[in-house]
């Protein structure tokens, strides 16, 4: 067994590998870019080596620097994690040539299966069902349009070396095929250093189900059940679960055996994933093989009780698999939510900056530990005060729960999301909570188009109906009453001017365009002990008990005898005097005031926001890589204006209306902030 390994990655996956290595008594070496010098994976490792500037192409993608770091520190093996060099056959072979073990498949397996074009040809030759398409690399956007017409829209344009939703577009017409080809090539070149693009038929209403395989150097290959990954947005997975609520035992067995057959055909030796697209009738087609550890591997670890990182390390050290196919377990139900640094209320645009507050829900499951299951686990590479840079992927944490069945797992995940506190940047937690409460998700009736169908107009907090909206108002009144009680107990108050607690309040829920909701609330005296109140709203009583302090963001307690976790903070962007209450995906801003003040508040005129239709503003922090218009140019609505790159994704900005360009304010290569002006129209 190795005594020291180097992790050629960053973020949560680097921390994940370190956890298992520590359990196995193996020393670890971290590598880091200049912007990651204070990152969590650097602090957790036994040693750390600086490998270059922030940009991936100058640091995490430079094989020479990583090999040199391994040699300098005496690391006998390299774990590549996922992304970066994990599916680079040349890097795997280079490690072998240098006498360093690669904790992953052999280079010939990566070359055969890691390349999306070659793997489809190989799978077809092996008799595996493949999706109709053209597996040869395309050279021009005109050729892409021609082939797309031949296959029939919609089509999927895909980078050969792609992964994680990078270098992938779905086109429904010639215009989208033309533009999608160009964007895919650019993203693929920037993210993977390989700009080959191919095209295939896009199967509508598909489910994305993948089989986890595990092989060793002694010819043994097993499959570890499946993962359901159909909840996706822009082809990036949002929620994953194991097992799938859709497929039958017969389908599971057929898919698993086919995945094993494919892995054996390329002498696969490590953890890998065979991805399938599955139709309504449970017919399945080979999509691709990921020759690495998957982001969603924890759900498989939960239901099988196997540490996949440990399996990878042991296989790389030459050991045999410790179990056979008949020993593979499937206990309970596991769900993973990807917590991303993006703003769901601004069309999921990337959000970067400093983590002012980062509090995870209480964990009872941990990385590298497969003994303590049926609980909550958080995999992350960040911490309080850490920075979320614009140079890397938007995922900042993975929240994993394990329940006895699917309904229990959903309940655990909803409660865990309620207690996950992230401030300083925006996160997709409210959106995740809304998905988990959606009737179609709960029933298991969904496909990869679910999010696009259900949230076609974007996601707004007001669109998420809370199962008991008065509970949020009661919680706001409870906290406000608690605050008044404390203020009333302060000594030295002038007679006649002392704080009066009162029992009757009005909760003003601030809505869009001045459309507020006014809720009359009666609060009974705190009884028996501090932190207890009876709150009556519209004839309904909420008996709330909580020992959380007034400055706590996370509020935990009991309401009518049932436990709850919610988030509460004072002061919002919309109103510095408001309380922001967040629970089960619903977020409200509320003012709690006396009934008389509420009467006067209703008389206040609404001030409309300024008209910004004449400007193109940057919707996110990022790098302005292209400005497609010039001063004096006539521009039509929907025409391309600028391209911003953030978190390895290209974001194209289009004109919202016809106009003539008056001024181009920002220049190519400039780093933009949120709402910074790029173009002004006359």
Q: Which of 176, 240, 241, 288 is catalytic?
A: 288
Nearest 5°: CA angle at 302, between 39 and 372?
80
Quick one: which H or E segment has residue 29? strand 27-33
Nearest to 247 by CA among 229, 265, 273: 229
Residue 115 inside a domain? The answer is: no
Residue 326 inside a domain? The answer is: yes
Query: Mind giving me the DSSP string for 243-301?
Result: S-SS--HHHHHHHHHHHHHHHHHTT--SEEEEEEEE-TTS-EEEEEEE-S--TTHHHHH
Q: Which of 201, 223, 246 is the last residue of a domain?
A: 201
Q: CB-based burial of residue 264 (10 Å sphere; 0-12 exposed, 13-18 middle, 19+ buried)? A: middle
Q: Which domain holds residue 373?
A: 207-456
Q: Are residues 168 and 214 in the same domain?
A: no
Q: Is 105 helix (H, G, I), strand (E, B) or coil?
A: coil
Helical spans, DSSP H, in 292-405: 297-304, 308-316
Distance CA 260, CA 253 (A): 11
Residue 120 inside a domain? The answer is: no
Q: Is 203 helix (H, G, I), strand (E, B) or coil?
A: coil
Nearest to 14 by CA among 90, 85, 68, 82: 82
pLDDT (tens digit per residue) in 470-522: 999 999 999 988 888 777 778 888 887 777 778 899 999 988 777 899 999 99
The CA–CA distances, whole Å, from 482 to 175, 479, 537 equal: 59, 5, 17
DSSP state of 326: G
- Per DSSP, which regions of 34-83 are E strands? 47-52, 77-79
Q: Are residues 188 and 218 in the same domain?
A: no
Number of domains the chain is built from: 5
- pLDDT for residue 573: 60
Distance CA 595, CA 508 (A): 10
Residues 6+ apart with CB under 8 A from 300: 212, 224, 225, 227, 242, 306, 308, 334
pLDDT (tens digit per residue) in 344-390: 988 888 888 889 999 999 999 999 999 999 999 999 999 988 888 87
Query: Mind giving me the DSSP string for 72-87?
Result: HHT-SEEE--SSTTTT
Q: Is 288 a catalytic site residue?
A: yes
Q: Are residues 537 and 572 in the same domain?
A: yes
Predicted TM-score (pTM) of this structure: 0.83
Residues of the chain predicted below pLDDT 50: none
Percent of the chain, pLDDT > 70? 98
Q: Are residues 390 and 513 in the same domain?
A: no
Q: Give the CATH number of the domain where residue 543 resides.
A: 3.30.700.30
Q: Are residues 504 and 581 in the same domain?
A: yes
pLDDT (tens digit per residue) in 519-559: 999 988 766 677 899 999 999 999 999 989 888 999 999 99
Q: Give the CATH number of the domain where residue 318 resides.
A: 3.30.470.20
Structure tokens at 275: 């991805």
């Amino acid at each position: 067994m190795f005594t020291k390994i180097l992790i050629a990655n960053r973020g949560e996956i680097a921390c994940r590998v370190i956890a298992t290595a520590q359990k196995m008594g193996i020393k670890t070496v971290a590598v880091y870019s200049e912007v990651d010098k204070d990152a969590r994976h650097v602090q957790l490792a036994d040693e750390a080596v600086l490998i270059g500037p922030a940009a991936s192409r100058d640091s995490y993608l430079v094989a020479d620097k990583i090999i040199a770091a391994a040699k300098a520190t005496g690391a006998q093996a390299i774990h590549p994690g996922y992304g970066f060099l994990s599916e680079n056959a040349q890097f795997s072979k280079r490690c072998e040539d240098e006498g360093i073990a690669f904790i992953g498949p052999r280079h010939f397996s990566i070359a055969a299966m890691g390349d999306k074009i070659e793997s489809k040809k190989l799978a077809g030759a092996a008799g595996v069902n493949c999706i109709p398409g053209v597996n040869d690399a395309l050279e021009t956007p005109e050729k892409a349009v021609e082939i797309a017409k031949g296959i029939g829209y919609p089509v999927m344009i895909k980078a050969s070396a792609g992964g994680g939703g990078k270098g992938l577009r779905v086109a429904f017409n010639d215009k989208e095929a033309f533009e999608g080809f160009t964007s895919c090539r650019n993203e693929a070149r920037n993210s993977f250093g390989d700009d080959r693009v191919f095209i295939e038929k896009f199967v509508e209403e598909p489910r994305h189900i993948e089989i986890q395989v595990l092989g060793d150097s002694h010819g043994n290959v097993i499959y570890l059940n499946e993962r359901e990954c159909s909840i996706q947005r822009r082809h990036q997975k949002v929620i994953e679960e194991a097992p799938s609520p859709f497929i039958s035992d017969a389908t599971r067995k057929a898919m698993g055996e086919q995945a094993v057959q494919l892995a054996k055909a390329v002498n696969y030796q490590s953890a890998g994933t065979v991805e399938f697209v599955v139709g309504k009738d449970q017919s399945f087609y080979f999509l691709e093989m990921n020759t690495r550890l998957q982001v969603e591997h924890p759900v498989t670890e939960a239901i099988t009780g196997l540490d996949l990182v440990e399996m990878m390390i042991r296989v790389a050290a030459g050991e045999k698999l410790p179990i056979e196919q008949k020993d593979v377990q499937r206990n309970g139900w596991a769900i993973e939510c990807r917590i991303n640094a993006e703003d769901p209320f601004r069309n999921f645009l990337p959000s970067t900056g400093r983590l002012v507050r980062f509090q995870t829900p209480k964990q009872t499951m941990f990385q590298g530990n497969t003994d303590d299951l049926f609980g909550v686990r958080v995999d992350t590479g960040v911490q309080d005060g850490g920075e979320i840079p614009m140079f890397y992927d938007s995922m900042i944490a993975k929240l994993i729960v394990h329940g006895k069945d699917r309904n229990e797992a959903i309940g655990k995940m909803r409660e865990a999301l309620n207690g996950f506190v992230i401030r300083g940047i925006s996160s997709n937690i409210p959106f995740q909570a809304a998905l988990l409460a959606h009737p179609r998700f709960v029933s298991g009736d969904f496909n990869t188009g679910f999010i696009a169908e259900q949230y076609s107009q974007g996601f707004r907090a007001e669109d998420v109906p809370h199962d008991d909206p008065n509970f949020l108002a009661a919680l706001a009144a409870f906290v406000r009453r608690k605050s008044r009680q404390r203020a009333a107990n302060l000594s030295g108050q002038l007679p006649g001017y002392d704080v009066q607690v009162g029992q009757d309040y009005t909760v003003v829920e601030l809505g869009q365009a001045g459309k507020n909701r006014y809720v009359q609330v009666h609060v009974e005296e705190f009884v028996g002990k501090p932190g207890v109140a009876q709150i009556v709203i519209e004839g309904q009583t909420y008996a709330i008990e909580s020992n959380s302090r007034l400055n706590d963001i996370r509020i935990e307690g009991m309401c009518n005898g049932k436990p709850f976790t919610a988030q509460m903070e004072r002061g919002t962007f919309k109103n510095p005097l408001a309380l922001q209450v967040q629970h089960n995906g619903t977020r409200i801003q509320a003012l709690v005031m006396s009934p008389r003040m509420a009467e006067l508040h209703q008389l206040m005129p609404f001030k409309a926001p300024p008209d910004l239709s004449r400007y193109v503003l940057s919707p996110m922090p990022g790098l302005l890589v292209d400005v497609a218009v010039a001063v004096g140019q006539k521009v039509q609505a929907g025409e391309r204006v600028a391209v911003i790159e953030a978190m390895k994704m290209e974001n194209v900005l289009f004109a919202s209306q016809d106009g003539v360009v008056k001024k181009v304010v920002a220049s190519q290569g400039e780093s933009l902030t949120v709402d910074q002006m790029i173009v002004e129209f006359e």
